[in-house]
Chain A
Amino acid sequence: MGLVPWYDGRDGMYSWIWRHLPGNGWVRALISLVLITVVVYVLFQYVFPWAEPLLPFNDVTVDNQ
């Protein structure tokens, strides 16, 4: 079987999601857009602000630590 439950060897997770969305093509496209927006929102609002201080891109001060 696949590495994860939804991965049954026919296609990837994105087509799995697509197959499980209700409605016709347009409705699915719309729902997909909403899902993408939600994911981007969660990333920008929670994940990136959390990850940023852990990454060495934004230290501007001099200190002795």
Chain B
Amino acid sequence: MRSSVKGRGNVAATADDTAQHTHASPPPRGRRRLGPVAMVISFFGEMLITAGVVLGLFVVYSLWWTNVVADRAADRQADKVRDSWAQEPEGAGRDAPAVYDSKNGIGFLHVPTMSDDDILVEKGTSMKVLNDGVAGYYTDPVKATLPTSGKKGNFSLAAHRDGHGAKFHGIHKIKKGDPIVFETKDTWFVYKVYGILPETSKYNVGVLGKVPEESGREKAGHYITLTTCTPIYTSKYRYVVWGELVRKEKVDENRTPPEELR
């Protein structure tokens, strides 16, 4: 048994310093051995408390710490993109996504009704990409058509609703008619929201289609699709917002934002 004299002495010393002086010889009998049933119960009790604390910490991690880490990563990458835009000589392969390092992102998404942030857009929708606090454009299962390509199609994006920057947290605030602006080095692509699907299955890949028919459109056009999970704090369903290109605006020297963002 582990009930060494030293062990008990220490317990007494911390429990009550004065008691140690008054009766030093007979060790205090405060802690009796428990019966087997009580022992099992107390063991599981302690495990449950531990599990509770760990789960609590996991919530703190998911909803707070991942945001701290992701925002830091996103800021760093956004600075890199802005810097490279500032440095690249004017006209050097503009509007061509190939000139940008795909890891660094292709532009910024502005959705004033959702958040004040400018959201960096990068390639891919893997957790590795999205966990850096950015929005990713789909490469799979349906490849997104980049607005910079000039082709008709669907610019489909995903980002986290909670944690990891939570860039699409406020997606439910977007209403029909609201602007979505995508900023590249030389162009502001101004979209207008025309369709919202507040809840759909996560297998509903049709929403990403070149012509997203569920949104009511039947002809090819320049569409944008935002997807994230819903309800908040879970991933049971997907929330989808569709927009349509209204106009393009050249970026001027001061990068004056289009009127929708002012």
Which residues of A line the B interface, CB within 8 A? Answer: 2-4, 6-15, 18-20, 24-25, 28, 40, 43-44, 48, 51-53, 56-64
Q: Is the CB of B234 within 8 A of A57?
A: yes
The B1-43 residues at the A interface (CB cut-off 8 A) are: 1-3, 7, 10-11, 13-14, 31-34, 39-40, 42-43
Interface size counted on chain B using CB atoms at 8 A? 54
In the complex, chain B residues whose CB is within 8 Å of the CB of A28:
14
Closest to A21 in B: B10
Number of A-B contacts (CB under 8 A): 112
Contact stretch, chosen from B93-101, B110-118, B204-212 = B204-212
Q: Are A57 and B62 in contact (CB under 8 A)?
A: yes
Q: Is the interface of A mostly helix, strand, loop or mixed?
A: loop
CB distance from B135 to the nearest CB of A (A): 10
Which single member of A20, A25, A53, A60 contacts B161 (CB below 8 Å)? A60
Cα–Cα, bound, A26→B227 (Å): 53
Residues B46 and A14 in contact, CB atoms below 8 Å apart: yes
The smallest beta-carbon distance between B53 and chain A, in angstroms, is 10
Contacts of A10 in B (CB 8 A): 2-3, 31-34
A3-B43, A14-B46 as given contacts; A8 in contact with B3, CB under 8 Å = yes
Cβ-neighbour of B205 out of A12, A20, A60, A64 (below 8 A) = A64
